[in-house]
Every structure is written in structure tokens, then in C-alpha cells.
Chain A
Amino acid sequence: MSICSICDQVVTTSQAPIESLFSIYFWVALIAGGGVFLGFLYFVFRFRYIPGKQEPLDAPKAGVIPPLRGSSKMGWILALGLFLIFIPISVATKDTVDFIEKPPAEDSLIINVEGFQYAWSFTYPNGVQTISTLRVPKDKVIVLESTSRDVFHNLWMPQFKLMVDTIPGQTNVVWFKAIKTGSYTAHCNEICGVGHTFMKATIIVQEPEEFQKWYGGGN
């Protein structure tokens, strides 16, 4: 078990940039948040009340509105400091969004995904339709054109770090390219009724030849 399981083995190409983006965020958060936390601990320890300690001169007392403390210059310094932290992660996010947004210009397999209460149906270009099992070849760009027959679902492929909302009346597109064969579980990730928990699909990534044998070369 690692930090939020994001450091699992990489099984798709589109997963790698998300993993590295996560670690950028993680280290920025750890260093900035950890620094503030240590400073906070020091303050609490250093300025704790010890019997006999003198009250600060400007201690609050009833009937006196305390004077202002601190300068607005400090506000600008803090704002600038925090702003600088956000520049690298914003740029990294923008790059990753651009990458995930566009399927690479290579030969791809387009599969129509339809969620319905409570299963997934996958339709291949040659008309083959499967329920609850998505077979894909390794090393090929898979484009999922996803929609829903009834209510709002979400196809969540945890091992790929990838999800897409499947919404009735619209088609959302997401792509991945698996680089490891194996069997993975996808879940529905948006509450869709009593069967929500059990609305799963198995994603089977096969060697291209094996996949072709099953698929029958219909396209």
C-alpha cells in the first residue's frame, strides 16, 4: 500500500502523466503544508502559557476593541508566495489536460460504451456487442465513446487512473492505450440506484493476436 495507491505499476500510457502529475502535487503539498505545520507546532510550543508568564501588553480585555496588528505588506508577501507555488502545478495540469484531451494520431479502435441500470454494454466497430466485458488489444489506442441509456453513470477504471461520466443524451470521449496484458475491474462511480454497487465490468487486455482471434477481423 503506497501513498493513495497512485504509485501502482503503470498499465496504460495515459496513466503515466497522471501519476507524475499526482507526485508533483503531492510533493508541493507535503513541503508547503509540512513547513506550515512545523512552524505552527513551534509557535504553539514556544508561546505556551507558563505559570508566572506576563500577559502580552496588547492582550484582549473586555470593553476594548483590540488595535490592528500586522501590516498589509505582509498580506501581499503571503499572496505572492502562495501564488508562486501555484504556477508550476497549474502549468503541469494544463499540459496533462492537453495530453489526455486528444487521442494520439495513430490507428485506433473506437468502442461505443453504454451504461444502463446496472451493467455496461460495449459495441465494437464490426457490430460485436458485449455486456460487462471489455476486451481490448495491447499497444493500441482505444477510444471509448461513452453514453448512457438511462441515468447518470460513470465508468471508472481504477488501474488506468481514468474515468468518464456517461450521461444520457450526450457522448463523452476518453482514450487509453494499455501496455500490459491482464484483467482489470471497472466500476460505476456515480450513484445510479440500488444496483449501483454491483454495476461492474471486466476489462481484459490481450495480446493483439489473441484479441484478433476473438474479434474475428470484422473491420
Chain B
Amino acid sequence: MNIVRWLTTTNHKDIGILYILAAFLLGAIGGLLGMVMKAQTTLPELSLISASFYNQSVSVHGLVMVLWFVSPLFLGFANYMIPMMIGCRDLAFPRLNAMSFWMFLFGGLVAASAFFFPGGAIATGWTIYAPLNTPQYSAGNAFGIVLGVAGAAMLIIAITLGTINFVTTIAHMRAPGMTLLKMPLFVWFFIATLAIMLYVFPVLGVAGLTLLSDWLLGTNFYASPHGALLWAHLFWIFGHPEVYVILFPGLGVVAEVISVFSRRPIYGKNIIITCIIISTIMSLIVWGHHMFVTGVSAGWRIYMSIMTELISIPFGIIVLCFIATLWKGSIRFKTPMMFILGIIPLFLIGGATGVFNSSAALDYSIRGTYWIIAHFHYVLVPAVAMTLIGGIYYWFPKMTGRMYSEKLGHTHFWLTFIGMNLTYFPWFLISEMPRRMVTYSATQTTWAEMHLLSSVGAVILLLGQIIFVINMISSGLKGPRALSNPWGGYSLEWTVSSPPPASTFLKRPIITEQGRVKYSFYPTSWAHLENDGGRIESNIDETDFKEDSD
């Protein structure tokens, strides 16, 4: 383990781990900013931090969580797992992959560095609405906006290079016999993410570069009469599909984990794939629901309303298929499965409240309020953050070769589940409060009660994450050795040792028409796999699940 190796690596597994570590580093920054905001709003009329710092916190928290926490987390899994899942040695362009990672990391650091410049970090909200984002109205926040947008531009380059890399890999480097339909759903969900990213990140790039040119070249795109709506359209053409960009990998983890731990194949794989394709296309044409009260025409609003309602249908079907997977299963309540089962009711709440927001009429009474932030935290925290954390537990034995502590894992889950609900549910009940208010009057007693409750929840949530970090570090160093396939998984990463060798496959795997994996090098591939501890064709060893005996 030396530093030069990690700085110069082009191996997809090393880069995957770097992505995951960077994601948690940046996610911790985003989380701490969230805690700062929670502390400030715990009681009415507090002034722990200035309004200016609150605005910076609210903006950087949003940008970091969406762009620099969730994206690298799923890119980490994708880097590590996808080449193994489709049976190839590495990504198509390993050095390009390393470049993507470092561009992404420096982009994040550039954006965050603005905290140390006069005027502080970007303070316009994560939506960076025009014309507040222009030199005319934010001269004091120049470093924040320019560095924030420059960081985002580096992220866009990183993402675009990464997408090309993954598309090439999945299109051209699948193992012989690994047909599209045989690929695990995790790969399918990731393909949808790639497709959306290829479409929407250039739009964000255009918005960001024109904004930078307003600042650096003296153009006037966004302080001009139609600048506000121009920015809103560009931002949401990117911003709404971005929700699906970060949602799909989470659902991919759900698909893998729910099947493996209920010991049944995923229900309706072809139905889910159809839904993925339909919702990918639809996700690009629903952005208008963010702009219902901007004065756009009524016909356009009705269209966007109906499209937004319709896009719930494929997601509803996907969730129902996940639940149907449990039918006649034998559910093992290991930590990854706890997280994945735990998110289903939360995602139901997040999804159902999303249907409210799709209504152009109801938007007159909920847009931009605490109802909205309650809704999207109920989508993003469970369906994105908690699923990916479930994924961390699921693949931890594979990545480190060691088992995590199941007891700490369950504690982490329950603290997260309870803390998460306590933090975000009260926000639904103060739907009249505008978001991004640094403080509120003491006469608003309901607001005060709800914020106090929410802050208690945030502390519980934080405790859970501390336990998570302790579990990861102590188990990563001293946990018991993991077998190559501790969960009885089917995808190809479970056919190799834990942790896998730098070059995953000795020989390229071949998948027969019946779906059996063979190595051309070993005519008797089953024996080979069994010697590896893969426990092929046998039931799971009961001792692996002895903690379930309660």
C-alpha cells in the first residue's frame, strides 16, 4: 500500500475505491453543512451563523450532495463492479478513467475552496437562479460563483469522459455470451444513467460556460430581460433528469440486493428493463414541473403535469416488481437487505408526494416550500444515499476481503432509519414555511416545534453515520476474512476471490446460452469455482447465517 500507487493507478478497482473514499470525504462536508443549518434553525430567532453563511451552506450542501457525493459514490461502484459484472478485465480506456476521477476530485475541491476566499462560497442556492447569479447582483459573491461554476465545469468534463468510457466498455467488452438481457440489472440501471448524463450534462455545460462568460468576458446572458427564464430552463433541463441520474444506480443496487437476500431471481427483469428505457426517455421531457409558477403558458403546464404523472408509472412498476421478488423467497435480514427493505416504505412516501408536486395547480401552494424539501429528501436520502450505503455493505466483503460487523451494521441501519424519518417528516407539516430561511419568528410555534423535532432527528442520523465509519474502519482492518461469495450472489464478481486479483479474470469467462458461466481455460469450470470457495450448486452454508436464528 503505497501512495504513488494510488496516485498513478489506472486499475478500475483502485479507481472505484478512490471514488468511494472521495465521495464519503465530500459527503461528510455536505453533511456537516446540513448539520450547521439544522443547528441554526433548531430554535426560532437564533443567530449562530450569519444569513450570508447560511446561504452559502444551503447552496454548497445541495451542490455537493447532488454532484460530489452521490455521483462519485455510484461511479465508484460502477468502476469497481461493472467490468467484473460483464466479464471484462478493465474499462475500455483505463487512463481516461483515471483522468475522470482526478478531474472530478479537483472540481469538487475548487468549488469548495471558495469558502476560504473573500465573500465565501456560492450563496445563490444550488439552483443558482438568474439574475442573482450575475455580476450585477452578486458582486460580493464573485469568488463563490466563479469557483463553483468552474468546479462544476471540471465535473462535467470528468462525467462526459467517464460516460464515453462506460458506454464503450458495456457496448464492446462484454464477455462472450453475456447478452444484454443476461446482464445484471445494476448494469441496466447504470446504462440509463449513462444515457441521461450524455444528454443533460452538456446542457449544464452550456449554462455554466455562458454564466462564466457573463462574469469573465462581460457578456450579458443572464441579467438581460429573458435571462431568468433562460437559466431556469437550461438548469432544469439538466436538473430534473439529474434526479434520475442519481436515482437509477440506487435502484440498481436494490435490484441486486433484494434478489440475492430474498434468494429469488428478480421478478420481471424484462418488465423492469422496459420501464427503465421508457422512464429514461420520459425523464428528459418533464422538467417543466419546476417552473409551474413562472408564468409559462397553461397548455405547457398541463402537458408537463401529465407527463410528470405518467413518469410515476414506470417507477411504480419497478418498485412493485422489487416487492414481488420477495414472493416465496427466504429473506435474510443482513445489513444490506435491511437498508434495501427499509427504503421501500420511505421511497413510497417520497414517490407519492412527488405526484402532488406534478400537479400544476397544487404547485401554487407547495413550490419552494418545506413540503418540497421534505419530498426530495424522502426521495434522495432513501433511494439514493441509503441504497448506495446498502451497496457498500453488500460489496464490502468483495472489495476488502473482510466481513463487516453485522451488529454495528444493524445499529447503523436503525439509527439512520429513525433519524431520517424524524429529520425529514416534520418538514411536510410546515409546508407554509419558505425554504432557505435563515431563521423564523418565535410566534411561529408550529415551525419551532417541527424544527426542534427535526434537529433531534439529525443528531440521531449523525450518530448512525459515526457508527458506520467506525464499522468500516475497524472491519476493514480487523474483520474476519470473507469468502469469495458470502451472500450466494450470482453475478460474475462473486465468482472470483475476495478481494479480486488486480486482473480479475485469468481467462475470459464465457456464458452459455442457459446462463452458465464457464472459463475456456478450465473445461471443468465448476470444480474450479468450488475450489475457490464459491459454493456453486450447493445451498448456502447455514453457518453463514447463524445470526438469523432469532
Q: Which of B159-167, B293-301, B472-480 contacts A (4 or more CB under 8 A)?
A: B293-301
What mask results when residues 157 to 174 of chain A are scored 1 for a CB within 8 Å of chain B, else 0? 011011111011111111
Q: List, in ascending order, chain A residues with CB within 8 A of B259's CB.
A: 60, 66
Q: Are A25 and B362 in contact (CB under 8 A)?
A: yes
Contact A167 B228 (CB under 8 A): yes
In the complex, which of the residues A67, A83, A189 contacts B368, with contact meaning CB atoms closer than 8 Å?
A189
* B264 neighbours in A (Cβ, 8 Å): 56, 58-60, 69
Q: Which residues from A are CB-within-8-Å of B50? A: 194
Q: Which of B123, B329, B440, B548 has the most CB of A within 10 A?
A: B329
Docked Cα-Cα span, A100 to B302, in Å, equals 13
Query: Do residues A191 and B58 form an inter-chain contact, with CB atoms below 8 A?
Result: yes
Tell me if A191 and B225 are in contact (CB < 8 A): no
User: How far is the CB of A211 from the nearest CB of chain B, in Å?
Assistant: 25
Per-residue CB contact flags for chain B residues 422-437 toward chain A (1 = under 8 Å, else 0) read: 0000001111111111
- B330 in contact with A56 (CB, 8 Å): yes
Decide: B348 and A169 in contact? CB cutoff 8 A: no
Q: Which of B182-238 contact A (CB under 8 A)?
A: 182, 224-229
Q: Interface residues of A: mostly helix, strand, loop or mixed? A: mixed
The complex places the Cα of A117 from the Cα of B274 at a distance, in Å, of 49
Residues of A contacting B511 in the complex (Cβ-Cβ under 8 angstroms): 65
Report whether A56 and B137 are in contact in the complex, using a CB–CB cutoff of 8 Å. no
Q: Are A194 and B529 in contact (CB under 8 A)?
A: no
A58 CA to B263 CA in the complex, in Å? 8
- Chain B 283-307, CB-CB to A under 8 Å as 1, else 0, gives 0000000000111001001100110
The distance in angstroms between the C-alpha atoms of A193 and B436, with both chains bound, is: 10
Q: Which residue of B lies closest to A148 (CB)?
A: B228
Tell me the complex Cα distance, A158–B227, Å. Answer: 28
The answer to whether B488 and A1 have CB atoms under 8 Å apart is no
Q: Does B410 contact A (CB under 8 A)?
A: no
Stretch of B15-23, B143-151, B314-322 lying at the A interface: B314-322
User: In residues 90-136 of chain A, which contact B (Cβ within 8 Å)?
Assistant: 90, 93-94, 96-98, 100-101, 117
Collect the chain B residues with CB atoms within 8 Å of residue A188's CB. 434
Stretch at the interface among B24-32, B95-103, B489-497: B489-497
**Contacting pair A190 B129 (CB below 8 A):** yes
Binding site for A on B (CB under 8 A): 50-52, 55, 58, 123-125, 129-132, 137-138, 181-182, 224-229, 259-260, 262-271, 274-275, 293-295, 298, 301-302, 305-306, 309-310, 312-313, 316-317, 319-321, 323-324, 326-333, 341, 344-345, 348-349, 351-353, 355-356, 359-362, 364-365, 367-369, 371, 428-440, 446, 484-485, 488-490, 494-495, 511, 515-517, 525-526, 529, 534-540, 542, 545, 548-549
Q: Please list 27 pairs of residues, one from A and one from B, whose beta carbons are closer than 8 Å in the complex, sorted by A's number.
A: A4-B429, A18-B361, A18-B365, A25-B359, A36-B348, A47-B327, A48-B333, A49-B333, A51-B549, A54-B330, A56-B263, A58-B264, A62-B485, A62-B488, A62-B534, A63-B495, A63-B525, A65-B511, A75-B271, A97-B301, A151-B129, A151-B137, A163-B293, A163-B364, A165-B293, A169-B226, A197-B437
A interface list, Cβ under 8 A from B: 1, 3-6, 17-18, 21-22, 25-26, 28-29, 32-33, 36-37, 39-40, 43-44, 47-49, 51, 53-56, 58-72, 74-75, 78-79, 82-83, 86, 89-90, 93-94, 96-98, 100-101, 117, 150-152, 154, 156, 158-159, 161-165, 167-174, 187-197
